[in-house]
Structure 1
């Protein structure tokens, strides 16, 4: 192997090959020794020669009985299980770096290669590295549901595009539930909370069933949130938040009575027991402090920003600190709130709920919370660039779905179309860019088919702990 570039390419190809259990770079830095079982040697050799300019020198193999393979599985693995999977022929930093660059599909396949590989892919430092890279290059996430089925599609998120682009949706994931999907939350650091509701019959009597399910569009894993144990329940709303300091997801369960005021607040922490814990997810009481109105589970009416959860109810803005688990109120900028909540570069923003923008629209109005403690808001009025009328399709009506940079908004339709288009409006550059998302509009078109767009989605490859 001549050069570090091709050496690294060869490493990535070998690590991602099914059946490979060990990789070792010899002292001469020119020879790569590969160990494994059931490896397609011919296909591997062809791939190495084509993509990394590496020639296959020799093949060595021995026939082993099932008993021999079982007795020697620790010595033939990539990771030494006698040392709790910590000893690697390759430096652990290099191994983590290689795994972190794999696609989601390759990571899913690699988890099934062996328990040692699955252990490495479950390391917190690998997950953090993958998250850091995903946050630097976030994605667009599209969600839609039909009956009991929920579908996610994601595509690369253009970075301040200046010209019309066509981007392919390169990741698809679907979930199926026992009851119809009613609503979903926005993506919260890679996870989505789904509310399902239906009926079941017991001894001829009909009972209403409502459940909340956590879904990871990156791994395809789902986890039904355990039921809250309480005698006061008339209804419950589950909200998903994320603590960026402790790097933990938390679910806030709010039990409410007929007057709509919450009586109990309980918190469930996802993965608090650490890796390998056998503890079940359990609810615990949180400090309620003040009676709070029950929020809507609609994703447009609640949002988690920087470890603080906000939601609107009855013209009030309630905030919940995910780490301290304490409530407070934020005085709204206006007496009446018919607004959608957005993350504006780390700050809470309000845009009119149900407001659509057409090719002949002229301005965009927004309130931004500048200081949460002092309840200070700033009103921003943006004039749409002159090229807006020339770029936006006259037959489309758009909504603001997010903010991707200083004074850069993302708009899209709430209904599927072919082609499906996303618009980037940069008020500093006075540009409007249309981005066609391939693979979304062709699924199904029609006014009755709604689609939800979430910018700044990050991929979390950590498996949720049961």
Structure 2
């Protein structure tokens, strides 16, 4: 009984301290939150270190929500590239009107790891999942190392995903998703064995507040799940989609759906027998475009499949004819589709840090092609060669500090 009373007294004491910090602020909290939410990411990071009262305000959920809301109203372009053990992010405002012909990459962030970077995910509600791998030597013996690290390009914070407790594996695949109801990120981990089928599906939640003990929990898999196929995966509106790898020699593929909120699986029948496609977010709907397809100044059409009704497995095929001005605006370089920003508007860019680095907005309704120069990306060179660049649309700035939730 005495122990419970002591814990209650300590909790009350912390609340009193928080109220005292709150009352010592020079301005009303609501006004400070509004002011802080308009600052740059660099300024917010500095403000966290000014005083405990300021750090208290910047740690409040209502501040984070307001900043996130404003960021969602004006999403950004995120550019990622790596060299060895180092990963670099640049971001710029996402053009909102045809008049914006040039924007500057005004935020830069880098991360260093113990092992080389192997792959990175798309930006999922402000966070990115990075796969690193290499070897570690213990007592003269070499062991293979493969880890996943969650990075926040807005805060510079990173968090290594703890290892899953399992022995049934040849390898582990991890994906990053977001629960829009609880407003929490989740990591989906899958172990796979030699035949290529996944054996265990576990989920880890990234929480907030103080650090807690971390545990993976089992997720029920209601459909057969061969190992995912490379980078053919995407998160859209609370659901994670990936194309399974066919292992029976038939060439057939399924699109597996994982609902991040309910942590349940389903699948979607594909529109064609073989799915050699890249997954895209088409205004909140899953879309497919041919994987590896590039577009040059002499291209004529863009073909896409769009999932109209997941429950009925209904797809629509769309064929867009490139506007007549396409040949005049697009130079003699190969472009790939990086996303969709509005009704019938595609965004394309190069996969390398050319100088100048340009992003193209192709609006099929207005029959316009807008070329936007991203200042600061084209200067990225290594030995005279450009880096491989990953371009992501609709990146939002999440200033919440990460940690794991038990």
Alignment TM-score, normalising by the size of structure 2:
0.91
Query: Of 357, 363, 368, which aligns to 1:420?
Result: 357
- For 1:43, the equivalent position in structure 2 comes to none
User: What are the residue-to-residue correspondences of 1:271-290 with 2, within 5 Å?
Assistant: 271=207, 274-276=208-210, 278-290=211-223
- For 1:294, the equivalent position in structure 2 comes to 227
Contact 1:263 1:291 in 2 (8 A): no
Deviates more, 1:289-298 or 1:221-230: 289-298
The offset of 1:245, in angstroms, is 1.0
| Alignment partners' CA distance in 2, 1:338 and 1:386 | 29
Q: 1:92 to 1:198 in 2, by over 3 A?
A: same
- For 1:391, the equivalent position in structure 2 comes to 329
Q: Does 1:187 align with 2:123?
A: yes
Larger radius of gyration: 1
Query: Of 355, 370, 386, which aligns to 2:293?
Result: 355
| Alignment partners' CA distance in 2, 1:439 and 1:236 | 36
Query: Of 199, 202, 208, which aligns to 2:144?
Result: 208
Deviates more, 1:192-201 or 1:117-126: 117-126
SS of equivalent to 1:429: coil
Q: 1:457 to 1:155 in 2, by over 3 A?
A: same
Aligned length: 381
The offset of 1:192, in angstroms, is 0.2
Contact 2:223 2:267 in 1 (8 A): no
Q: Does 1:136 align with 2:73?
A: yes
User: What are the residue-to-residue correspondences of 1:313-462 with 2, within 5 Å?
Assistant: 313=244, 314=246, 315-394=253-332, 396-444=333-381, 449-462=387-400
SS of equivalent to 1:118: helix
Contact 1:185 1:297 in 2 (8 A): no
| Alignment partners' CA distance in 2, 1:246 and 1:430 | 41
Deviates more, 1:79-88 or 1:456-465: 79-88
Q: Does 1:173 align with 2:109?
A: yes
| Alignment partners' CA distance in 2, 1:291 and 1:378 | 26
Contact 2:79 2:389 in 1 (8 A): yes
Contact 1:270 1:281 in 2 (8 A): no
Q: 1:330 to 1:99 in 2, by over 3 A?
A: same
Q: Does 1:306 align with 2:267?
A: no
Q: 1:390 to 1:261 in 2, by over 3 A?
A: same
The offset of 1:166, in angstroms, is 1.4
Cα RMSD, aligned residues only: 1.6
- For 2:6, the equivalent position in structure 1 comes to none
Deviations 1:108-163 (A, max 9, x none): 000111222112111111111111111110000000000000000011110142x4
Contact 2:358 2:374 in 1 (8 A): yes
User: What are the residue-to-residue correspondences of 1:95-174 with 2, within 5 Å?
Assistant: 95-161=32-98, 163=99, 165-174=101-110
Contact 1:213 1:222 in 2 (8 A): yes
| Alignment partners' CA distance in 1, 2:49 and 2:396 | 23
Alignment TM-score, normalising by the size of structure 1:
0.79
The offset of 1:317, in angstroms, is 0.4
Query: Of 225, 228, 241, which aligns to 2:177?
Result: 241
The offset of 1:91, in angstroms, is 2.4
With a CA cutoff of 8 Å and minimum separation of 6, indicate the structure with the bigger relative contact order. Answer: 2
Contact 2:380 2:386 in 1 (8 A): no
- For 1:231, the equivalent position in structure 2 comes to 167
The offset of 1:280, in angstroms, is 2.4
In the TM superposition, structure 1's runs of 4+ consecutive aligned residues that sit over 3 Å from their partners are 79-82, 84-89, 445-448
Unaligned runs of 5+ in 2: 1-14, 247-252
Contact 2:136 2:143 in 1 (8 A): yes
| Alignment partners' CA distance in 2, 1:84 and 1:311 | 50
The offset of 1:89, in angstroms, is 4.4
Contact 2:21 2:52 in 1 (8 A): no
